[in-house]
Structure 1
Amino acid sequence: MTARENDRTQHKETEEHFFKSNAVKMIHEMSKLSREIQEDSRSALIDEMLHSIFFLGKILKDFSPEDIIADKEMLENLNTYYPRPFRCYQTHFPRRSPFSCVLDMIVLHKNPENEEQIKQSLQRFARGLDPEYLVSSTICISQKSKTDQNSKRYYGVSMSTKGPNTGQIVIAASCLNNWHEYVSGAVMTYYPEMDKKNYFDGTIKVPKNIRCEAFDIRSGNKKDPCRSCHNLFGLNTEQIKEWDYGNCAEAESLSNLLKNEEEVKKKTNVNKYSAENRKKAEKEVHDNLMDVLKRNRDKNTQRKGFEKHLKIYNPESE
């Protein structure tokens, strides 16, 4: 083995170690938090997170659940209580990244109004993980009013998916089956490229008086919206950097706001487009998703069902 080949092997082994380590830590944290709260949705969040981890493990590293979770007793217990992620991780897409499930569990644990506690808990947990795998870098909080601090808070995190293929897959699935139609329409205006489509413009301008504020999870520092978020949602910024459209925490946070605050939805300016062109944009997202999966077939185990039918995973309790 040459020195270069040895370096590649060591790098691959290091990456695999950190993916598995982060995954197991996330499972432990979710299980611990679940025992401390009484919300009905807690089991669904663990179920959804497991499926997302298993799916990303297969896409990134060709891992099986057994490869990720070495503890046989832990593996058997999870399979007993949450059997569907083990059955469906090769036949269904996750609708969001696993760290979004962690965020939701922490919000349930701390209650949505306790913003600082939520940010601190997420920060403590994220600092114990390797930053490269399954971990978001940014949290965003949206409210219907900048001045009414008693208004309900809606949280979101950036995509915790390393690599262009996994990011494209989860953003596409979020567009097709998770985000509010205004947010998905805005993202589909660009996805999967950085250039705007010439036949469809679903970008929006959210009301000026709403709060949409992002923070670095590890440092706690405030982060201004990037140029992509300005282009998608009309958020004011002086930043010129464009990140992948749909990658930022603002998308998930604003989606949750729009799903729950009818007043904000009514005041949001939406570009007009035909139903036919929206369907065309959705088909382009779907077709790109299929292409990404086909490209992965050469290096990973063939994924039964993906090429013929798009299935989005929903937790068993939903």
Structure 2
Amino acid sequence: MSADPAPLVEVVLSAYDGAAWLDAQIASILGQTHGTLRLSVRDDGSSDGTQTLLAEWAERDRRIVWRQGGRNLGPSGSFFRLLDGVGEDAVFAAFADQDDVWEADKLARAVDALSSLPAGLPGLYCARVVIVDEELRRRGLSPLPGRGPSLANALIENIAIGCTSVLNRAALDLLRAEWPNPPAKHDWWCYQVVSALGQVLYDPRPALKYRQHGGNATGAGYTPIDRFLGKVRRQLNGEQSALRRHQAGELRRLFGNRLSARDRALVADFLDSEHGFPDRLRYAFCGGVRRQHWLDTLAYKALYVLRGV
């Protein structure tokens, strides 16, 4: 009697002027110990030879499917488009960035973790990363989430680094029933929705080498101080504040009737807390949102009181 076939993982990768990095990344994806995979790539308007490189890879390995995406959508728009195109035969969908290098067992660990969830429960796997420079020299580790995944965290912070994230079929079907209005960050949105309506599994063992260079769409600081100051700078940025509130509003619009009473109240309190200084002060002391580390939470609440962010 033959064993059940390994479940198909569709890896979705948005490429944009990534010719300098893609060879190493594609090789690490195709070299996974969980070899039952399809790599679907959308080129988001490259002009540096990326399309030629992708065509050459697809010629060598039938597991690669790629297409020119036409107009530039940016990372999140491109990834939402890729998720819409995930095949019905895929049991899992995994995000991939163009400039990282995966550990050989990354997908196997994600599949094992998500397969432990009850049937039909939306699940998202994400993991820690090793931060490296352009030459893949180790510079540090991403911080461990001290409080773990939750909607209270997902409303104001994203711990599900996109390039580590893998969705099960239930999560994929839930998410692509209707996408949020832009702007929204694809990985943060997935973390928010699945933390509210499913289960997020965080793996403390690093899953990949997370390359930092001048062209990163989103970067990570090398040291805890770098990361803390980066969070403060982003919080002082009105665009970041608007994004948090927009995503929370879209969560309520699209899934409000499916949230628990407690989570509906959490989202409503967050969205209604910015009307004036007394409301912000009350929310700083009593509001349910929290970051993963106490100092980050303290900084968030202090700046929220002063600036409404």
What TM-score does the superposition give when structure 2 sets the normalisation length? 0.34
Where is the helix percentage greater, Structure 1 or Structure 2? 1
What TM-score does the superposition give when structure 1 sets the normalisation length? 0.33
Which structure has more RCO (C-alpha within 8 Å, separation ≥ 6)? 1
Where is the strand percentage greater, Structure 1 or Structure 2? 2
